[in-house]
Amino acid sequence: MSKNENKPYYDLMVIDFKDHIAERKDNIIDFGIPNTGIERIRFMILPNTSILVVYGDLGYAMFNWYRNTITVEDISTMSIDYFQGKCVASEVGRDFRDWYPERAKESIGCEILERIDYINDQLEEKKEDQIDTYKEFIQFINDHFNFDSRFEFADTLTTFPFSFFDCDDYEAGFGIHPSCYLYLKALKLAMKYLTEHDH
């Protein structure tokens, strides 16, 4: 889904949580603006598990580390890649990813340029059997490379000649969803607040 199609999620990224405070009770942390429900997030580790549930005004997600127990302190020190990798459910799917058109174009574009360079080298060596394949490939790129949405992109990929150049097709353009960044950012700030206020 393109940035414009997913605009509400991208709007979340401007939240700086500067007016938020954190409150903790056992394995539950509430992080929000005092006396309101605005931009409130609850982080809850289910008892005797390593399952983190995140929910509230900014959406929901569930993460599982598949071990006996885990703490919010442990989670707050994790990298975004490790954190995202433990997602088992979210509003946008289990993998908590989004599709970015520019990233897709860059990824495919790099592969295209490398393959074109290779083909040009072959043509310089006068390998006539490459010429028709080269022309067909260039025509396909000219006809189909302007992808406006994840779904249009995916449809095009079904006929895209990936065998012609090694490329991980359906991975092109995918990245961590903005909400995932937001949750980890909020948890880190909540833990910082609790430490500074001796909670």
Which of the pair, 3 or 95, is modelled with greater confidence? 95
Give the residue carrying structure tokens 């001796």: 198
Which of the pair, 145 or 118, is modelled with greater confidence? 118
Computed over every residue of the chain, the mean pLDDT equals 76
Helix (H) or strand (E) holding 131: helix 131-144
Instruction: Give the C-alpha distances (Å, rounded to integers) separating 39 from 5, 17, 158, 183.
Output: 22, 8, 40, 11
Residue 67: pLDDT band by 50, 70, 90 thresholds? confident
Q: Are 185 and 17 in contact (CB under 8 A)?
A: yes
* pLDDT at site 94: 87
Give the residue carrying structure tokens 């592969």: 111
Query: What are the pLDDT digits (tens) for 113-144?
Result: 666 666 666 656 555 555 566 666 666 665 65
Residue 178: pLDDT band by 50, 70, 90 thresholds? confident
Residue spans of the domains in the chain: they are: 7-98+177-196, 101-172
Question: Global pTM?
Answer: 0.67
Strand ranges (DSSP E) for the chain? 21-25, 28-32, 41-45, 51-56, 59-64, 87-90, 97-99, 174-176
The three-state secondary structure class of 53 is: strand
Q: Which residues contact 33 (CB under 8 A, 6 or more apart)?
A: 19, 20, 21, 39, 40
* pLDDT at site 146: 52
